[in-house]
Amino acid sequence: MRTLLAMVALLGLGLAWTCTAPPPVELAAETDTLKLVTEGIWFRMGERDQGHCNNVVIDIGEGLLVVDANFPSGAHALMEDLKQVTDKPVKFVFDTHHHGDHAYANAVWTRNGATTLAYVGVKEEMARYEPAGWQAAAERRPDVAAIGADTAEPPMETFDVVPHVLEGASRRVEFHHFGWAHTRGDGMVFLPDEGILCTGDAIVNGPFNFTGHANTGNWPNVVSQAQALNATTILPGHGPRGGPEIAAGQRQFFEELNASVEAAFDEGKKLEDIVTVEEGAGVATVVELSDDVSNWVGNRFAEQVRVRYAELSEGKPHGEIVGGP
């Protein structure tokens, strides 16, 4: 009898332990920096003080697609965040263009088993500007130097027919190229079922437009084609996420910029009449745009005016003026 009572007591303890055990830990929907956009899609704003771009992570069913490789330190930060929301592997990384803050971590991702891909123009731009850009970055950025390579790793796969389509197990992904705006290789990612457009730096939300390799005159046309997709959510390469107003504002900014500089050029004004240039870059300008586009006007504005004037003077995009190796 005592033995039976002891067994019952032990069983009771076991049942009590079972009932009070904590439930299985569920994966979080987001972290402090990796924000859920909709089920299976996350947006991460890059740390501006570290030069990082934004990232988008898309669950395609059998794994993840990451939009933009980022700088190596940005890639590692994203990898740590991903561990907190999913255990799926990163299968693909899409470079929206060749700049270091979007593509210099290609080797980080491929060494972890991912396939990098891009519109063919990205690989062509790397051939123009590397290894000079990589080596300059390695001198000032320990994360780039730590890769231990002499130049940037180009995308493993490229495409030249658009849209390029990836049919994942859980969603359709379209890769688009609408022409030369920020760079010759500008690519965008569109999720038609969700109405989400990932734009790289062809569309940004804030004063982040870099025109060094740009075709400023054609930029509004590229944005206009992107708008035709009728996306309801826009995830830009820099700045906060938002809706169609981001694309509308970006387009209006370049339309006003181009119109203002073209008017001065047609009036016969010289560059020095509208821009103060120091060491080859615009540092001040008399050109003013409407308050409607103030979100996109920042400390690069005078240089953007200089670039557009140079395009008009030379009769070709600024990216062709600066050339490459």
For domain 27-322, say whether CATH 3.60.15.10 is its number: yes
Residue 19, pLDDT score: 35
Is the confidence at residue 64, as pLDDT, over 50?
yes
Within 13 Å and on the Cβ side, how many CA atoms surround 239?
20
Query: Which of the residue ranges 5-9, 141-145, 284-288 would you say has the lowest mean pLDDT?
Result: 5-9
Residues 100-113 pLDDT 10s: 999 999 999 999 99
**pTM confidence score:** 0.90
Is the confidence at residue 61, as pLDDT, over 80?
yes
Residues 2-32 pLDDT 10s: 343 343 333 343 333 333 333 333 446 888 8
Domain boundaries, the chain: 27-322
